Homo-oligomer: A and B are copies of this chain.
Amino acid sequence: MKVAIDIYGGDYAPKVTIEGAIMALESMDKDDQIILIGDENLAKEKIKSLGGNVTDFDFIHAPDMIEMDAHPVKALKQKPYSSISVGFHYLAKGEIDAFSSAGNSGAMMVGAMYSVKAITGVYRPCITSILPKEDGGAGIILDVGVIADCKPDVLYQFGILGSIYAESVYGIKDPKVALLNIGEEEEKGNLLTQATYKLMKDSNDFNFVGNVEARDVFDSTSDVIVCDGFTGNVVLKEAEAFYKILAKRGMLDDYFKRFNYELYGGTPILGVNGNVLIGHGISSSTAIKNMLLLSRDVAKAKLPERIKNAFK
């Protein structure tokens, strides 16, 4: 697999992106390639200064960069030679198998929609996060911030997307898909979840197990939790609050350590015609390493092809 990364992506780039790429090498197969997108000379210098080997990598030269807080649409138009623009150009041509960045996530989202585009039939591509389960496994929650306002049919599709992702990348057989709600009974919830339940309850597209309350998101009731991006983002950030407080108090045990975002690295954008991964702006080298490994796994799983088949 040819997995590419934007060397400028993230608050501590390019140092940590190059460092993370060097770390990822160890876990890559012989036929995997890591491609660094950015200023080629700068990338090579950084590799050397970090004790890496320039010949371990491939390079795509992109002299320009999109700032973290730039307006996505404007920046992509004004900077065709930025690492993000160039990355999507190569992805759309099929010359790389996956493209990752911990940079401007709006530009990554817009870039994906304009270059590889949404898969036909998918209303709203979305992003995911991992819920560490008490039993040792991992659950998927989606959406976690891209689509703040959802219609019931959009949530229904999240069920399909999350189910395919959980099965093909995380190896969860016939994933249990639950709707995040404020009561377990069918009639509970807001207008959105009430209507979504009706769509999901007879689904043949995924294994719907009913409503799940936020008190049960870390147990084994479900493998995939579906919600609108506003609610998903709240769930994610509240978990982050607890993680931070526990860390501050020196209370991170084996379970709570698994709430560290660095372990997961990033999320694919589910529902686009290509393997596009977004990482946290504050990504460390460990996070970058894990995003690269996830991008390799996502590419190997042929996620877009599977989603395309489901939406045929």
Contact = CB atoms under 8 A, between A and B. Distances in A.
Interface of A: 134, 145, 148-149, 180, 182, 189-191, 193, 213-218, 228-231, 233-242, 244-245, 249, 251, 253, 255
A231 B233 CA distance: 11
15 contacts: A145-B182, A190-B229, A190-B230, A213-B237, A214-B235, A214-B237, A214-B240, A215-B238, A215-B240, A218-B241, A231-B234, A234-B234, A234-B235, A235-B238, A238-B239
Oligomer: number of copies: 2
A230 B149 contact: no
Contacts of A234: 180, 182, 214, 231, 234-235
Contacts of A236: 214
Contacts of A230: 182, 189-190, 193, 231
B244 A215 contact: yes
Main secondary structure of the interface of A (DSSP, over half): helix
A148 B148 CA distance: 16
A241 B228 contact: no
Contact of A255 (B191, B213, B228, B249): B249
Contacts of A213: 237
Contacts of A237: 182, 213-215
A231 B245 CA distance: 21
A134 B245 contact: yes
B190 A228 contact: yes
Contact of A241 (B145, B189, B216): B216
